[in-house]
Amino acid sequence: MSDADREEARALFAAGQAAVDAGRWPDALAAFERAYELTNVPSALFNAAFALRALGRFREAELAFSELLTLEGTRDDMRAESEGYLAEVRARLATVRLLGLPDAEGELVVRLDATPVPDPGVRPLEFRADPGHHVVDVSRPGYDRFEWTGELTNGEARTLAVELFPSSAGSSSAEGGDVTSEAWFWVVMGIVAAGSIAGGVVGGIFADQAAQLQPESMMSVRL
């Protein structure tokens, strides 16, 4: 570390601790994550993981505590405490199990809150989520999208039966039919014809339509 980095890290630890004392966990997390980027000190990662746990971001906390246990510089007391927190956050994570997914390699997209879920091809597919409100959706080309919205609780195991139906989208024109056979075509043509007689009325109609569209434990460090 350069002297500048060392001074910044000290300031970040102090700011992070002050944020914890004030209950401002997002600010504490940002400070400790930046401190870890600068120093790679295990205590900075521990504090970041602890902040993630306090924020209920258990999936990220699990990754952080797991990483901490792999670092050679992690002290024995910190390692023991991290193992306890790791077991706790894992117990709080909800498990979602999707039944009925086809083996459509490369075509199927499963998302949790708009974020893609890794799909190794194992069926049924399982993944974990933080407790709270979530949206799970499954899409496949040529099929209607499946969507589930609901609440997941601490440690819950939720099974969802996924049904993908061939898409009903498509009209006779898309299938090669004559566009003039569509009822909407003749309605529009009627408006255009009337407008050509009334002079300027159609333009006014379309302009109007366009307008309408428009704190349990913390670590300290000496650097």
- Give strand ranges (E) for the chain: 94-99, 109-112, 115-116, 125-129, 132-139, 146-152, 157-161
186 lies in the same domain as 200: yes
Q: Using CA atoms, how far apart are residues 119 and 110, in angstroms rounded to an integer?
A: 8
Q: Which residue has the higher pLDDT, 202 or 3?
A: 3
Kindly state the tokens that stand for 62: 């699990």
Report the number of distinct structural domains present in the chain. 3
Give the range of the structural domain holding residue 188, as residue numbers without chain letter: 181-207
If asked whether residues 85 and 99 sit together in one domain, one would say: no
Q: Which pair of structure tokens corresponds to residue 80? A: 């023991």
CA–CA distance, 14 with 16 (Å, rounded to integer): 5
What distance in Å separates the CA atoms of residue 62 and residue 81, rounded to the nearest whole number? Answer: 13
Return the number of other C-beta atoms located less than 10 Å from residue 166's C-beta: 9
Residue 172 lies in a domain: no
Provide the whole-model pTM. Answer: 0.74
Q: The domain spanning residue 148 has which CATH number?
A: 2.60.40
Cα separation, 74 vs 83, whole angstroms: 12
Of 45, 68, 92, which one is at a domain's C-terminal end?
Answer: 92
* pLDDT-above-70 percentage for the chain: 75
Which residues are paired to 161 by β-bridges?
99
Residue 145 to residue 155: CA distance in whole angstroms: 27
pLDDT digit string, tens, across residues 117-157? 999 999 999 999 999 999 999 999 999 999 999 999 999 99
pLDDT of residue 78: 97
- 1 confidence band (pLDDT: 50, 70, 90): confident
Over residues 61-117, the pLDDT tens digits come to 999 999 999 999 999 999 999 999 999 999 999 999 999 999 988 899 999 999 999
Q: CA 73, CA 94: separation in Å to the nearest integer? A: 32
Q: Is 200 within a domain?
A: yes
Mean pLDDT over the full length of the chain = 83
Amino acid letter, residue 133: H
CA angle 90, 101, 112 (to 5 degrees): 45
Per the domain annotation, does 176 fall within a domain? no
Residue 116: predicted pLDDT: 97
Residue-level pLDDT at 200:
35
